[in-house]
Amino acid sequence: MLRELRVENLLLIERAELRLAGGLNVLTGETGAGKTVLAQALDLLLGGRPQASIVRPGAGEAYVEGVFDLPADLPAAIAERIPQGADEIVLARRVGADGRTRAYLNGRTTTVSELRDLGGILLAFYGQHEHRKLTLAAAQLEILDALCGPEQPTRLRACAQASADVARLSERLAELRELAGARERELDLLEYELAEIEAAAPSEEERIELLGARERLRRLDALCSAGLAAADALAPESPDAPAAGPLIARAASQLDSLAGVDPRLDLLAERLRALLIESEDLARELRSYAEQAGAAGGESAQEDGAPGAQSSLDQLEERLSAIDRLVRKHGASVDDVLAYAERARARRDQLAGAEVALAETTDELARA
Q: What is the pLDDT of residues 330-357, one digit of tens each?
A: 888 888 888 988 988 888 887 777 778 8
pLDDT band at 364 (very low <50, low <70, confident <90, very high): very high
Structure confidence at residue 299 (pLDDT): 52
Domain with CATH 3.40.50.300 in the chain: 2-129
Structure confidence at residue 366 (pLDDT): 94
Q: What is the pLDDT of residues 76-92, one digit of tens each?
A: 767 777 777 777 888 99
Q: What is the pLDDT of residues 151-207, one digit of tens each?
A: 999 999 999 999 999 999 999 888 888 777 677 778 888 888 888 888 888 888 888
Quick check: 309 pLDDT over 60? no
Structure confidence at residue 243 (pLDDT): 66
Is domain 2-129 annotated with CATH 3.40.50.300? yes
* Three-state SS letters, the chain: CEEEEEEEEECCEEEEEEECCCCCCCCCCCCCCCHHHHHHHHHHHCCCCCCCCCECCCCCEEEEEEEEECCCCCCHHHHCCCCCCCCEEEEEEEEECCCCEEEEECCEEECHHHHHHHHHHHCCCCCCCHHHHHHCHHHHHHHHHHCCCCCHHHHHHHHHHHHHHHHHHHHHHHHHHHHHHCHHHHHHHHHHHHHHHHHHCCCHHHHHHHHHHHHHHHCHHHHHHHHHHHHHHHCCCCCCCCCHHHHHHHHHHHHHCCCCCCHHHHHHHHHHHHHHHHHHHHHHHHHHHHHHHHHHHHHCCCCCCCCHHHHHHHHHHHHHHHHHHHHHHHCCCHHHHHHHHHHHHHHHHHHHCHHHHHHHHHHHHHHC
Comparing 21-30, 132-141, 151-160, which segment has the lowest mean pLDDT? Answer: 132-141
Query: Average model confidence (pLDDT) for the chain?
Result: 80
Q: What is the pLDDT of residues 96-124, one digit of tens each?
A: 888 888 988 888 888 888 888 887 778 87
Comparing 166-175, 247-256, 287-296, 303-312, which segment has the lowest mean pLDDT? Answer: 303-312
Least Cα distance to 65 among 33, 104, 36, 98 occurs for 104
